[in-house]
Amino acid sequence: MLDLNQVSKSYGGSNGSVRALDGVSLKVKAGEFVVVRGPSGCGKTTLLLTAGGLLAPDQGRVLVGERDVYGLSLEERARLRAETLGFVFQQFHLIPYLTVLENVLAPSLAARSDEAGARADELIARFNLSSRAGHVPAALSTGERQRTALARALLNRPKVLLADEPTGNLDPENASILLGHLAEFARAGGAVLLVTHADAAKEHADRIVQMQEGKIV
């Protein structure tokens, strides 16, 4: 479902170039929950952004399904992200002046789905957010914000979920709830790639990959 092949990415700076990814190859199959672990600064977030079509690599290829992500036009890549990929981040990235329902519906603007309203209601109910659907993010608990972000990521029925430290701001109970939902998505045939420096996801993962200094070790 997701195939990174010899992917490299460097950043320039006043102190010289830093190689964030150094020939990384990684595959995530449909139905698989893969966790990439490693310390801060090892390249995990760069890996996730590159996998999600948000950051072009200097070298290598990224395939989602059979499509070469960076061989697509910008418009085609945006469509691929909207229809095939879902993103969950540590900082949630909810729109502060929109309600839970409106935040969950936000991706439908890109995918133009007629079933978006019913799908949003279904996800809000599944994640126990029905009583909070009319609230803005500031009125939510941390766990509710992350569940809202996950519902938004699932709105367009993606085939791949990409998660960057999604439990970083959560207490153990809410972290376990979130990871359970990600595992459920994988069991239903989706592919999950989660990057983290913590070990909270190890009980849910099918495979754990260690990353260090831009390489999978």
pLDDT tens-digit series, residues 120-131:
999 999 999 999
Q: Write the pLDDT tens digit of every residue in 185-210.
A: 999 999 999 998 877 788 899 999 99
Kindly indicate the confidence band of residue 14, based on its pLDDT and cuts at 50, 70 and 90: low
Kindly indicate the confidence band of residue 111, based on its pLDDT and cuts at 50, 70 and 90: low
Task: Report the pLDDT value the prediction gives residue 198, as an integer from 0 to 100.
Answer: 77
> 30, 4, 25, 21: which is closest to 192 by C-alpha?
30
Global pTM value: 0.90
Q: Write the pLDDT tens digit of every residue in 34-63.
A: 999 998 889 999 999 999 999 999 999 999
Query: In whole angstroms, how far apart are CA 123 and each of 64, 144, 148?
Result: 25, 13, 9
Q: Which domains does the chain have, with CATH numbers?
A: 27-40+73-216 (3.40.50.300)
